Amino acid sequence: MTIFAANNLSKSFNHGMLFDGVSFGLDEGERLGLIGKNGAGKTTLLKIISGDDTPDTGEIIFNNEVTKEYLTQDPQFDRNELIIDAVMKAKRNVFKMIEEYNQISTKLQSNHSVALFERHKELLDKINIADGWSLERESQTILSKLGIYDHEQNVGTLSGGLKKRVALAAALLSNPTLLIMDEPTNHLDADSVQWLQDRLQNSSNSIIFVTHDRYFLDAISTKIIELDQKRIFSFPGNYENYLEQKESIVDAQLSTIDHIKSRLKVELAWLQKGAKARRSKQKSRIDWIAELEKETFRPEEKKIKIELGSKFLGSRIIDAHNISKK
Protein backbone atom coordinates (compact mmCIF):
# COMPACT_ATOMS: atom_id res chain seq x y z
CA MET A 1 0.00 0.00 0.00
CA THR A 2 1.21 3.48 -0.83
CA ILE A 3 1.01 5.81 2.19
CA PHE A 4 1.30 9.07 0.29
CA ALA A 5 2.57 10.56 -2.95
CA ALA A 6 4.10 14.05 -2.97
CA ASN A 7 3.83 15.65 -6.39
CA ASN A 8 5.77 18.71 -7.60
CA LEU A 9 6.06 20.41 -4.19
CA SER A 10 7.60 23.88 -4.05
CA LYS A 11 8.06 26.20 -1.09
CA SER A 12 9.73 29.58 -0.73
CA PHE A 13 10.18 32.15 2.01
CA ASN A 14 11.46 35.70 2.03
CA HIS A 15 15.07 34.53 1.82
CA GLY A 16 14.38 32.45 -1.28
CA MET A 17 13.28 29.07 -2.58
CA LEU A 18 13.66 26.11 -0.21
CA PHE A 19 12.72 23.39 -2.68
CA ASP A 20 11.22 23.37 -6.12
CA GLY A 21 9.36 20.63 -8.01
CA VAL A 22 9.99 17.98 -5.36
CA SER A 23 8.25 14.61 -5.90
CA PHE A 24 8.56 11.40 -3.90
CA GLY A 25 6.43 8.82 -2.11
CA LEU A 26 6.30 6.53 0.89
CA ASP A 27 5.12 2.92 0.89
CA GLU A 28 3.70 0.89 3.75
CA GLY A 29 6.39 -0.23 6.19
CA GLU A 30 9.09 2.08 4.79
CA ARG A 31 11.14 4.14 7.21
CA LEU A 32 12.36 7.18 5.36
CA GLY A 33 15.26 9.23 6.73
CA LEU A 34 15.20 12.82 5.47
CA ILE A 35 18.65 14.46 5.39
CA GLY A 36 20.07 17.75 4.14
CA LYS A 37 22.06 20.78 5.18
CA ASN A 38 20.73 23.13 7.84
CA GLY A 39 18.24 25.48 6.22
CA ALA A 40 17.54 23.14 3.30
CA GLY A 41 13.86 22.90 4.31
CA LYS A 42 13.63 19.54 6.08
CA THR A 43 11.33 20.71 8.89
CA THR A 44 9.21 22.67 6.43
CA LEU A 45 8.78 19.55 4.30
CA LEU A 46 7.71 17.54 7.37
CA LYS A 47 5.18 20.24 8.26
CA ILE A 48 3.73 20.10 4.75
CA ILE A 49 3.41 16.31 4.95
CA SER A 50 1.74 16.57 8.37
CA GLY A 51 -0.70 19.23 7.14
CA ASP A 52 0.66 21.95 9.45
CA ASP A 53 1.87 23.93 6.43
CA THR A 54 0.96 24.17 2.76
CA PRO A 55 3.20 24.13 -0.33
CA ASP A 56 3.31 27.01 -2.79
CA THR A 57 2.72 24.52 -5.59
CA GLY A 58 2.02 20.81 -5.79
CA GLU A 59 0.07 18.45 -3.56
CA ILE A 60 0.34 15.43 -1.29
CA ILE A 61 -2.14 12.64 -1.94
CA PHE A 62 -2.74 10.32 1.02
CA ASN A 63 -4.30 6.90 1.02
CA ASN A 64 -7.70 7.28 2.70
CA GLU A 65 -6.86 4.56 5.23
CA VAL A 66 -3.79 6.37 6.59
CA THR A 67 -3.67 7.90 10.06
CA LYS A 68 -0.71 10.13 10.91
CA GLU A 69 0.96 11.64 13.95
CA TYR A 70 3.51 14.48 13.88
CA LEU A 71 6.19 14.87 16.55
CA THR A 72 7.41 18.47 16.35
CA GLN A 73 10.60 19.93 17.79
CA ASP A 74 8.57 22.20 20.08
CA PRO A 75 5.37 20.42 21.18
CA GLN A 76 2.63 22.42 22.89
CA PHE A 77 0.48 21.28 25.84
CA ASP A 78 -2.09 22.63 28.26
CA ARG A 79 0.04 23.78 31.20
CA ASN A 80 -2.41 22.39 33.77
CA GLU A 81 -2.76 18.98 32.15
CA LEU A 82 -1.33 15.94 33.93
CA ILE A 83 1.48 14.11 32.13
CA ILE A 84 -0.42 10.82 32.14
CA ASP A 85 -3.54 12.46 30.69
CA ALA A 86 -1.51 14.21 27.97
CA VAL A 87 -0.19 10.85 26.84
CA MET A 88 -3.44 8.89 27.19
CA LYS A 89 -5.21 11.47 25.01
CA ALA A 90 -3.22 10.10 22.09
CA LYS A 91 -5.99 7.48 21.95
CA ARG A 92 -8.65 10.14 22.16
CA ASN A 93 -11.76 8.00 21.67
CA VAL A 94 -10.79 5.50 24.36
CA PHE A 95 -9.69 8.28 26.73
CA LYS A 96 -13.03 10.07 26.34
CA MET A 97 -14.95 6.88 27.05
CA ILE A 98 -12.94 6.26 30.24
CA GLU A 99 -13.47 9.87 31.35
CA GLU A 100 -17.22 9.61 30.81
CA TYR A 101 -17.34 6.20 32.51
CA ASN A 102 -15.61 7.62 35.60
CA GLN A 103 -17.92 10.65 35.66
CA ILE A 104 -21.05 8.45 35.47
CA SER A 105 -19.61 6.15 38.17
CA THR A 106 -19.44 9.18 40.47
CA LYS A 107 -22.98 10.31 39.58
CA LEU A 108 -24.42 6.84 40.20
CA GLN A 109 -23.46 7.11 43.88
CA SER A 110 -26.28 9.60 44.34
CA ASN A 111 -28.37 9.24 41.18
CA HIS A 112 -29.75 5.79 40.32
CA SER A 113 -31.17 6.82 36.96
CA VAL A 114 -31.89 3.94 34.58
CA ALA A 115 -30.47 5.97 31.70
CA LEU A 116 -27.21 6.43 33.61
CA PHE A 117 -27.00 2.70 34.39
CA GLU A 118 -27.54 1.84 30.72
CA ARG A 119 -24.94 4.33 29.53
CA HIS A 120 -22.53 3.08 32.20
CA LYS A 121 -22.91 -0.49 30.96
CA GLU A 122 -22.62 0.57 27.31
CA LEU A 123 -19.34 2.40 28.02
CA LEU A 124 -18.01 -0.56 30.01
CA ASP A 125 -18.61 -2.88 27.06
CA LYS A 126 -16.95 -0.50 24.59
CA ILE A 127 -13.92 0.04 26.82
CA ASN A 128 -13.50 -3.72 27.27
CA ILE A 129 -13.67 -4.30 23.50
CA ALA A 130 -11.06 -1.55 22.93
CA ASP A 131 -8.85 -2.96 25.72
CA GLY A 132 -9.14 0.51 27.22
CA TRP A 133 -8.25 -0.48 30.76
CA SER A 134 -4.67 -1.15 29.64
CA LEU A 135 -4.32 2.41 28.28
CA GLU A 136 -3.01 3.95 31.49
CA ARG A 137 -0.59 1.07 32.12
CA GLU A 138 0.78 1.27 28.57
CA SER A 139 1.17 5.05 28.86
CA GLN A 140 3.09 4.69 32.12
CA THR A 141 5.38 2.05 30.60
CA ILE A 142 6.31 4.23 27.62
CA LEU A 143 6.90 7.28 29.82
CA SER A 144 9.15 5.27 32.12
CA LYS A 145 11.18 3.96 29.17
CA LEU A 146 11.68 7.58 28.12
CA GLY A 147 12.90 8.57 31.60
CA ILE A 148 9.73 10.12 33.09
CA TYR A 149 8.58 8.42 36.30
CA ASP A 150 6.33 10.96 38.04
CA HIS A 151 3.27 10.76 35.81
CA GLU A 152 1.02 12.96 37.97
CA GLN A 153 2.93 16.22 37.44
CA ASN A 154 1.45 19.07 35.45
CA VAL A 155 3.01 19.35 32.00
CA GLY A 156 3.52 23.07 32.65
CA THR A 157 6.18 22.28 35.27
CA LEU A 158 8.39 20.43 32.77
CA SER A 159 11.40 21.68 30.85
CA GLY A 160 11.32 21.80 27.05
CA GLY A 161 13.28 18.56 26.83
CA LEU A 162 10.88 16.68 29.11
CA LYS A 163 7.89 18.02 27.19
CA LYS A 164 9.47 16.57 24.05
CA ARG A 165 9.62 13.18 25.80
CA VAL A 166 5.94 13.41 26.74
CA ALA A 167 5.06 14.27 23.15
CA LEU A 168 7.13 11.33 21.91
CA ALA A 169 5.33 8.99 24.33
CA ALA A 170 1.97 10.22 23.04
CA ALA A 171 3.03 9.78 19.41
CA LEU A 172 4.17 6.21 20.06
CA LEU A 173 1.02 5.33 22.00
CA SER A 174 -1.20 6.56 19.17
CA ASN A 175 0.36 3.92 16.88
CA PRO A 176 -0.54 5.68 13.60
CA THR A 177 -0.07 4.33 10.09
CA LEU A 178 2.41 7.16 9.45
CA LEU A 179 4.72 8.54 12.12
CA ILE A 180 6.33 11.90 11.24
CA MET A 181 9.18 12.80 13.59
CA ASP A 182 11.43 15.85 13.79
CA GLU A 183 14.54 15.09 15.88
CA PRO A 184 12.97 12.32 18.02
CA THR A 185 16.21 11.54 19.92
CA ASN A 186 16.80 15.10 21.13
CA HIS A 187 16.91 15.23 24.96
CA LEU A 188 16.99 11.43 25.31
CA ASP A 189 19.69 9.54 27.19
CA ALA A 190 21.48 6.58 25.62
CA ASP A 191 19.19 3.96 27.17
CA SER A 192 16.05 5.76 25.98
CA VAL A 193 17.47 6.15 22.47
CA GLN A 194 18.25 2.43 22.33
CA TRP A 195 14.74 1.55 23.55
CA LEU A 196 13.17 3.89 20.95
CA GLN A 197 15.37 2.44 18.21
CA ASP A 198 14.35 -1.12 19.08
CA ARG A 199 10.67 -0.22 19.25
CA LEU A 200 10.65 1.51 15.85
CA GLN A 201 12.61 -1.30 14.20
CA ASN A 202 10.02 -3.80 15.38
CA SER A 203 6.96 -1.66 14.62
CA SER A 204 4.74 -1.78 11.54
CA ASN A 205 4.57 2.02 11.32
CA SER A 206 5.61 3.80 8.18
CA ILE A 207 7.98 6.57 9.25
CA ILE A 208 9.50 9.73 7.83
CA PHE A 209 11.93 11.43 10.17
CA VAL A 210 14.74 13.95 10.55
CA THR A 211 17.59 13.38 12.99
CA HIS A 212 21.17 14.49 13.54
CA ASP A 213 21.91 11.18 15.30
CA ARG A 214 23.70 9.29 12.51
CA TYR A 215 23.70 5.98 14.39
CA PHE A 216 19.93 6.21 14.92
CA LEU A 217 19.45 7.23 11.28
CA ASP A 218 21.48 4.24 10.10
CA ALA A 219 19.62 1.79 12.35
CA ILE A 220 16.08 2.95 11.55
CA SER A 221 16.00 4.02 7.91
CA THR A 222 15.15 1.70 5.03
CA LYS A 223 15.53 4.54 2.52
CA ILE A 224 17.31 7.90 2.57
CA ILE A 225 16.02 10.99 0.78
CA GLU A 226 18.37 13.94 0.57
CA LEU A 227 17.10 17.49 0.17
CA ASP A 228 19.85 19.27 -1.77
CA GLN A 229 20.00 22.05 -4.35
CA LYS A 230 16.24 22.53 -3.90
CA ARG A 231 15.56 18.97 -5.10
CA ILE A 232 15.07 15.48 -3.67
CA PHE A 233 17.51 12.62 -4.26
CA SER A 234 16.48 9.11 -3.19
CA PHE A 235 18.82 6.32 -2.03
CA PRO A 236 17.58 2.82 -1.11
CA GLY A 237 18.87 1.33 2.12
CA ASN A 238 20.11 2.82 5.37
CA TYR A 239 22.52 5.69 6.00
CA GLU A 240 25.62 3.53 5.51
CA ASN A 241 24.34 2.51 2.07
CA TYR A 242 23.65 6.15 1.31
CA LEU A 243 27.23 7.11 2.14
CA GLU A 244 28.58 4.37 -0.15
CA GLN A 245 26.28 5.38 -3.01
CA LYS A 246 27.01 9.06 -2.51
CA GLU A 247 30.75 8.43 -2.57
CA SER A 248 30.41 6.59 -5.89
CA ILE A 249 28.37 9.45 -7.35
CA VAL A 250 30.88 12.07 -6.22
CA ASP A 251 33.79 9.99 -7.56
CA ALA A 252 32.03 9.72 -10.92
CA GLN A 253 31.36 13.46 -11.00
CA LEU A 254 34.98 14.26 -10.14
CA SER A 255 36.16 11.83 -12.81
CA THR A 256 33.90 13.51 -15.35
CA ILE A 257 35.16 16.95 -14.39
CA ASP A 258 38.79 15.80 -14.63
CA HIS A 259 38.07 14.39 -18.09
CA ILE A 260 36.46 17.68 -19.16
CA LYS A 261 39.46 19.63 -17.87
CA SER A 262 41.81 17.35 -19.79
CA ARG A 263 39.90 17.90 -23.02
CA LEU A 264 39.77 21.60 -22.31
CA LYS A 265 43.57 21.80 -22.02
CA VAL A 266 43.96 20.13 -25.43
CA GLU A 267 41.56 22.53 -27.08
CA LEU A 268 43.06 25.58 -25.41
CA ALA A 269 46.49 24.46 -26.63
CA TRP A 270 45.08 24.27 -30.16
CA LEU A 271 43.74 27.81 -29.89
CA GLN A 272 46.99 29.13 -28.48
CA LYS A 273 48.87 27.91 -31.56
CA GLY A 274 47.43 30.94 -33.28
CA ALA A 275 44.66 29.69 -35.55
CA LYS A 276 43.63 32.86 -37.37
CA ALA A 277 40.93 31.64 -39.72
CA ARG A 278 37.35 31.73 -38.62
CA ARG A 279 35.84 29.11 -40.88
CA SER A 280 32.63 27.54 -39.62
CA LYS A 281 34.35 24.38 -38.39
CA GLN A 282 36.91 26.31 -36.37
CA LYS A 283 34.27 28.75 -35.11
CA SER A 284 32.08 25.87 -33.89
CA ARG A 285 35.09 24.34 -32.16
CA ILE A 286 35.76 27.61 -30.33
CA ASP A 287 32.10 27.80 -29.33
CA TRP A 288 32.34 24.21 -28.09
CA ILE A 289 35.33 25.13 -25.91
CA ALA A 290 33.28 27.93 -24.37
CA GLU A 291 30.60 25.41 -23.52
CA LEU A 292 33.24 23.10 -22.03
CA GLU A 293 34.39 25.88 -19.74
CA LYS A 294 30.86 26.40 -18.49
CA GLU A 295 30.43 22.67 -17.95
CA THR A 296 33.62 22.46 -15.96
CA PHE A 297 32.42 24.90 -13.36
CA ARG A 298 28.68 24.39 -13.48
CA PRO A 299 27.58 21.01 -14.84
CA GLU A 300 24.17 21.19 -16.40
CA GLU A 301 21.45 19.39 -14.46
CA LYS A 302 18.85 17.65 -16.56
CA LYS A 303 15.31 17.16 -15.25
CA ILE A 304 13.05 14.27 -16.17
CA LYS A 305 9.35 15.01 -16.00
CA ILE A 306 6.85 12.15 -15.99
CA GLU A 307 3.18 13.06 -15.85
CA LEU A 308 1.17 10.57 -13.80
CA GLY A 309 -1.85 12.76 -13.15
CA SER A 310 -3.20 13.83 -9.78
CA LYS A 311 -5.44 10.86 -9.03
CA PHE A 312 -4.28 8.49 -6.29
CA LEU A 313 -3.72 5.13 -7.98
CA GLY A 314 -3.12 2.98 -4.92
CA SER A 315 0.09 1.31 -6.11
CA ARG A 316 3.50 2.25 -7.41
CA ILE A 317 3.64 2.97 -11.14
CA ILE A 318 7.38 2.85 -11.81
CA ASP A 319 10.33 1.40 -9.93
CA ALA A 320 13.59 2.73 -11.32
CA HIS A 321 16.82 1.18 -10.03
CA ASN A 322 20.48 1.97 -10.61
CA ILE A 323 19.95 4.14 -13.70
CA SER A 324 23.01 5.67 -15.37
CA LYS A 325 23.38 7.94 -18.40
CA LYS A 326 26.50 9.12 -20.19
Rounded mean pLDDT, 36-58: 94
Give yes or no for residue 245 having a pLDDT over 80.
yes
Q: Give the pairing type, strands 68-71 and 178-182.
A: parallel
CB 31 within 8 A of CB 222: yes
Q: What is the DSSP string of 127-151?
A: HHHTTGGGHHHHHHHHHHHTT---T
Rounded mean pLDDT, 293-299: 56
Alpha helices in 90-210 (DSSP H): 92-107, 114-129, 135-145, 160-174, 190-201
Model confidence pLDDT, tens digit, residues 193-224: 999 999 999 999 999 999 999 899 999 999 99
Q: Tell me the helices (H) and strands (E) count for the chain, helix number first.
A: 10, 9
Radius of gyration for the alpha carbons in the chain, expressed in angstroms and rounded: 28
Burial of 285 (0-12, 13-18, 19+ CB in 10 A): middle
Cα–Cα distance between 197 and 201 in angstroms, integer?
6
DSSP three-state, residue 4:
strand
Q: What is the pLDDT of residue 311?
A: 46
Amino acid at 13: F
pTM reported for the whole predicted model: 0.75
Q: What band does 310 get if pLDDT is binned at 50, 70 and 90?
A: very low
- Mean pLDDT for the chain overall: 86
Give yes or no for residue 83 having a pLDDT over 50.
yes
Q: What band does 300 get if pLDDT is binned at 50, 70 and 90?
A: very low
Q: Give the pairing type, strands 57-62 and 2-13.
A: antiparallel
DSSP 8-state secondary structure symbol assigned to residue 296:
H
Q: Compare 253 and 88 and report the one with higher pLDDT.
A: 88
Give yes or no for residue 276 having a pLDDT over 70.
no
